[in-house]
């Protein structure tokens, strides 16, 4: 039995220099649909052609190519984090919250690959 229960969604987060230009590229070339540009968070989301999979574009001045972070949706981020910490999963800092939007927490697998939990606060 898993330590945490995940939603049936996943967001693949990429770092990009210009979210708006990248969103246009993904729409034009792969047929993804823009869901939102959240300028105050430096974030854009796109619906992919795969049910339950979203592409997140995080704007950074110097993006790290090849650094894709799977973001797993959870109903209760505090409970999910506590359950993973109880089995010695390592987290990168505190849970971050953008009020009314999302709470996120980055953690690592045994090989040091970054993964993230996210709780949607807009509902």
Contacts for 17 with CB less than 8 Å, ≥ 6 apart: 59, 60, 61, 63
Q: Delineate the domains of the chain, giving CATH numbers in brackets.
A: 10-120 (3.10.180.10)
What pLDDT, on a 0 to 100 scale, did the predictor assign at position 50? 92
25-54 per-position pLDDT tens digit: 999 998 999 999 999 899 999 999 999 999
CB of 22 closer than 8 Å to CB of 44: yes
pTM: 0.80
What pLDDT, on a 0 to 100 scale, did the predictor assign at position 70? 93
What pLDDT, on a 0 to 100 scale, did the predictor assign at position 42? 93
pLDDT-based confidence at residue 56 (cuts at 50, 70, 90) = very high
């Amino acid at each position: 039995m898993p330590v945490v229960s995940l939603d049936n969604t996943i967001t693949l987060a990429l770092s990009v220099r210009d979210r708006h230009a990248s969103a246009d590229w993904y729409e034009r070339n792969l047929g993804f649909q823009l869901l939102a540009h959240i300028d105050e968070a430096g974030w854009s989301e796109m619906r992919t052609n795969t049910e339950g999979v979203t592409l997140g574009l995080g704007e950074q001045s110097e993006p790290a190519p090849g650094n894709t972070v799977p973001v797993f949706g959870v109903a209760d981020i505090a409970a999910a984090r506590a359950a993973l910490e109880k089995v010695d999963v390592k987290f990168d800092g505190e849970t971050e919250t953008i009020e009314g939007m999302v709470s996120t927490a980055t953690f690592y697998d045994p090989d040091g690959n970054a993964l993230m939990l996210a709780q949607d606060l807009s509902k």
